Amino acid sequence: MRHATILSLGIALALAGCTASVPTTGELSKAEAAAMGGKADGDDFCDVYGWYGDDECDDFCPLPDPDCAIDCPLTGIVCTPECPEDGRLAGGSPCRAGTFNAETCECEANEPPPPECPPTGVLCTPECPDSGRLPSGAPCRRGTFDETTCECVPPAPECPPTGLLCTPDCPASGRLPGGAPCQQGNFDAATCECVPLTADCRTTGCAEGRYCSFCWSHYACIPEGALC
């Protein structure tokens, strides 16, 4: 009987200890809420009691309290990625979807998730053989998969060497100061061509009695016998 009495007393004291920190009536104090980690059973006390944006920094709140931002103006709006579409938390506090940047004092909008690409049954990989089939027999396509467009981007073609350097700074002589041959233009890796800077007399030709020559900074039609 003595052991049963001690056991009952121990259970009663344990239950009292578990419930002592949670008031049964009235409103929680901030000290009590902080001791409980700012929430219990899924309830955000800072949201329920309106402590977000109340001109006091409550660093125990589950979400960042806008009052705790250093040197940032008070807005009274909670910046959190979990802000619902209606702009209100479960307890009614105003919110904005995003991540707060303490350096800029702005609520940076969350980046939209990448689109869900529909399955195609074809694996996009740079190691896809010319046959379009992996050793296992699965179909494939050579390229790199782009999650933003859901497309298999083919690799750039391997351009054969020409021995000519394609550069906008190529002189009219077609030789760089070191003697290396060059061609004036911008290299296009997609077509493996040296694209001229502008349409000039090299492509349009010159009228009778004139010839095409590099003059100062561009090609021009010069009268025969004249020098630029």
Q: What is the pLDDT of residue 88?
A: 92
State the first-to-last Cα distance of the chain, in angstroms, to the nearest integer. 121
- pLDDT for 67 equals 77
Question: Average of pLDDT values for 59-88?
Answer: 83
Task: Write the pLDDT tens digit of every residue in 136-184.
Answer: 999 999 999 998 888 999 887 788 888 889 998 888 888 998 889 998 8
Residue with tokens 């105003």: 94
Judged by DSSP in three states, 48 sits in helix
Taking all residues of the chain, what is their mean pLDDT, rounded to a whole number?
80
> How far is Cα 67 from Cα 56, in angstroms, rounded to an integer?
6
Q: Rounded distance, CA 33 to CA 39, Å? A: 7
pLDDT at 4 (0 to 100)? 41
pLDDT on residue 14:
41
Q: What is the pTM (predicted TM-score) of this model? A: 0.30
Segment 201-213, tens digit of pLDDT: 777 788 888 888 8
Q: Looking at residue 199, what is its pLDDT?
A: 65
- Per-residue pLDDT, 131: 94
Answer yes or no: are the C-beta atoms of 196 and 205 closer than 8 Å. Answer: no
Residue 10: beta bridge partners?
Answer: none
